[in-house]
Structure 1
Amino acid sequence: MAVPMFLLAPDLSVSRLCFGTMTLGEQNTVPQSFRLLDAAFEAGINFLDSAEMYPVPQRRETQGRSEEYIGRWMRARNVPRDRIVLATKVTGPSGQMTWIRGGPKSLDANNILEAINDSLLRLSTDYIDLYQIHWPDRYVPMFGETDYDPRQQYGSVAIEEQLDALGKAVDSGKIRYIGLSNETPYGVMKFLHISNYIQSSPKIITVQNSYNLLCRNFDCGLAECCHHESISLLAYSPMAMGILSGKYFSAGGGPSDARMNLFQGRYSEGESRYNLSNVTLKAAVEDYINIARKFGLSPASLAIAFVLIHPLVASAVFGATKVWQLREVVEACNVHLSSEMTAEINKVHARYPNPCP
């Protein structure tokens, strides 16, 4: 069965599975990347997500390769541009990635427009379908943090300037739609409020935040914003960095080439959120795996199906380093959870709420 579709905008139909490409260029070579992209396309996945900072863990030597590999694949396979929906992201302020426009220190107009032009070159395309701000140009708790500390606020670029730059890129035909990522209810509503007062300003149509069995923070405030403002969730990490497969809690701690093992000590964003030594996390994963077994599903099927039944989820943004993993996710998108299954899932969530915020 082909991957179902979702109408993200009147002229933008996307597959309900989005292939996240942040392993291309680090864990996956060019031939491996092409095989993954071939398999995704053949399965009916038309939605590809990337970012200018990818692959991860981020390094000066590899920055931009994920976008580059997508562009090379489209040229090599002669894929019609209108058969693919390309999404990518501009890097937010960072004091570490100094190789990306000096940090970047901010998301001002120059940084945004330069990032768009560079992504277009790497992707070998004239336009980007969905362009997203990877994380806000202001202090917000992210990647495992939960509590807001007003003392950490720093000077940031006005949202008006960010929207103006994005609007110019839309007007010039370089991007079609805009979205946010790793955002908060305040951020989403602020962008919408300001866009209403800027003539011809583009409207946010998506927010790409983490959402999975171990992280349901989206439902605590942001879901209400998205529902009333007709914004769709692009749920990234539906398998919680592969943890929901249970592989990291198997004998030996899972495959040596699994991301959390391969990059141990080098991937601070992932390790801060997905702490494998967290006993609550392990207990929750074991309970979810038991639910999957009880109903004759694989853990991956349960995890993906759970994300896709959410009424505000347009697409689940998943990663895969092997073709068999990609095919397992594709098969899972056609699994439907019964009310009995969701009730058991919710009981586990009540016992272990959001161990991976």
Structure 2
Amino acid sequence: MKYVPLGRTGLDVSRVCLGTMTWGTQNTQADADIQLDYALANGVNFIDTAEMYSVPPTPESYGKTETIIGDWLSRNPSRREEFVLATKIAGPGLPYIRGGGPITGEGVITAVDESLKRLQTDYIDLYQLHWPNRVSPHFAKHFPGHITFSDVDRKAHSEQMLEILQAIDTCIKAGKIRHYGLSDDTTWGINEYIRLSDEHDLPRVASIQNEFSLLHAKDWPYLIENCVHEDVAYLPWSPLAAGALTGKYIDGARPQGSRWGMEHRHGLFRDTEHVNNAVKGYADVAKKYGMTPAQLALAWCDRVDGVTSTIIGATSLDQLKEDMDAFDMLLNDDAMAEIMSVFREYPVPF
């Protein structure tokens, strides 16, 4: 396992981050125990969760994943120091979480305390804002004309961000969290948080996790360039495009118990004809080089300049082993050329 700095935090994290959002709906406590034990035994020292999980998000599933991790920690308290634990506060829009309102300073302080209780730990290594209060070009809102920026009240959002930063500072000084990061945000969001932290002597943003894969590479190169030069760790989530890049949904297939067979909050916006054709192309390349489609996609993601640690999730131990093995696989120049040939044909398939 390779390890890299997590921004400017002084923490080193594994190139593989264990995502946990299926724990509580598709996975049981026993499943989670097995995955945690395997990941830690094989060098993973970075685990990501969120108060909103498990998924799909519902009032009933809220907090379940953190509770499962907390249960494991209650039985393995001496192992807490073995890994960097990241969680997230939900942004606006879910009525059963703080009334669906925006992230506020008061909300941060409350949510941190509630996450600590569920996780059964005294501190959170990386506390992330799951999505910003303003509408951002994520979750299929990245095409021109879908959202507008010119009518956004920048001053109001900047004031909200300052309030959030001040609450994060309070939590850091209390020893409840160590560092903070963003998720589903933009270059402007990163830089505004940096500006505010510099201006007001407040904690500096450590990381950002955004959706990034062969099917959804909108952050390359501009946002990732910004991360590299500002020492902000870039953490891809959904590197398999919600399972599409495994090939299991080709031509409308829906394996029993799979995520695409469940109701999605934003709909199945990744299910397009272009996605289907792109995945077929990547699957052909993977077969030629003796890899599974999932391994090809993960090995490619790991190779992208600027990527810090890739968040992977699995619903079975076999899937987890397959995905982790990808990070020991090398893509030679010929394989990369063939991958990019497919990419150029389907650069923005959803």
SS of the counterpart of 2:328? Answer: coil
Q: Does 1:314 align with 2:315?
A: no
**Does residue 343 of structure 2 align to residue 336 of structure 1?**
no
Aligned equivalent of 1:168: 170
Q: Counterparts in 2 of 1:235-274, with a 5 A limit? A: 235-249=236-250, 253-261=253-261, 263=262, 266-269=263-266, 271-272=268-269, 274=270
Q: TM-score, with normalisation over the residues of structure 2?
A: 0.94
In structure 1, the partner of 2:106 is: 110
1:141 is displaced (CA, Å) by: 2.5
1:194 corresponds to: 196
Query: Which residue does 1:230 correspond to in 2?
Result: 231
CA distance in 2, matches of 1:132, 1:270: 24
Aligned to 1:299: 293
**Partner amino acid, structure 1, of 2:74:** R
Distance in structure 2 (CA, Å) of the matches to 1:258 and 1:99: 25
Give distance in 2, aligned partners of 1:198 and 1:354.
39
Alignment deviations for residues 107-155 of structure 1 (CA, whole Å, 9 cap, x no partner): 1110111111111111111110001100011122320111332477476
Give the drift of 1:10: 5.3
Q: 1:79 to 1:28 in 2, by over 3 A?
A: farther
CA contact (8 A) 1:36 1:321 kept: no
TM-score normalised by structure 1 residue count? 0.92
SS of 2:209's equivalent?
Answer: strand
Measured after TM superposition, the shift of residue 55 of structure 1 is 0.5
For the residues of structure 2 that align with 1:62 and 1:211, how far apart are their CA atoms?
A: 25
Q: Residues 64 and 237 of structure 1: is their aligned pair in 2 closer, same or farther, counting only changes over 3 Å?
A: same
Contact 1:129–1:176 (Cα < 8 Å) also in 2:
yes
The aligned residue for residue 280 of structure 2 is: 286
CA RMSD of aligned residues (A): 1.7
User: CA separation in 1, counterparts of 2:2 and 2:255?
Assistant: 31
Specify the code of the residue in structure 2 equivalent to 1:29.
T
CA contact (8 A) 1:139 1:153 kept: no
Aligned twin of 2:24: 25
> Partner residue of 1:179?
181
Cα separation, 2, equivalents of 1:150 and 1:335: 41
Contact 1:87 1:128 (C-alpha < 8 Å) held by counterparts? yes
Query: What SS class does the counterpart of residue 308 from structure 1 fall into?
Result: helix
Q: Secondary structure at the residue paired with 2:69?
A: helix
Query: How many angstroms apart in 1 are the aligned matches of 2:246 and 2:309?
Result: 20
Letter in 2 for 1:217: K
Q: Deviations over 1:81-110 (max 9, x none)?
A: 21021000011111xx2221111x111110
User: Cα distance 1:21–1:313, how it changes in 2: closer, same or farther (>3 A)?
Assistant: same
Report whether the alignment pairs 1:70 with 2:66: no
Task: Show CA shifts across 1:34-59 (max 9, x none).
Answer: 12222222222121100111111111
Q: Who is 1:60 aligned against?
A: 59
Shift of 1:254: 3.7
**Which SS does the other structure have where 1:178 is aligned?**
strand
Partner of 2:80: 81
Partners of 1:131 and 1:78 in 2: how far apart?
20
Deviation string 1:164-215 (CA, Å, 9 cap, x unpaired) is 111111111111111100011111111111111012x111111100111111
Q: What is the aligned partner in structure 2 of residue 124 from structure 1?
A: 120
The answer as to 2:102 corresponding to 1:100 is no
| More deviation, 347-356/44-53 | 347-356
Identity %: 37
CA–CA distance in 2 between the matches of 1:61 and 1:79? 30
3-state SS of 1:271 partner: coil
Contact 2:184/2:211, CA 8 A, preserved across alignment: yes
Rounded Cα–Cα distance in structure 1 between residues aligned with 2:14 and 2:24: 24
Contact 2:211 2:237 in 1 (8 A): yes
The structural deviation recorded for 1:345 is 1.4
Which residue is equivalent to 1:351?
345
**Whole-Å Cα distance in 2 between the matches of residues 151 and 11 of structure 1?**
37
How many matched pairs?
Answer: 343
Residue 293 of structure 1: CA displacement? 1.1
Q: Name the SS for the 1:255 alignment partner.
A: coil
Whether the 8 Å CA contact 1:143–1:270 is kept in 2: the answer is: no
Secondary structure of 2:297's counterpart equals helix
1:306, CA displacement in angstroms?
A: 0.5
Unmatched runs of 5 consecutive residues or more in structure 1: none
Cα distance between partner residues in 2 of 1:120 and 1:319: 22
| 1:201-216 correspondence runs (5 A) | 201-216=202-217
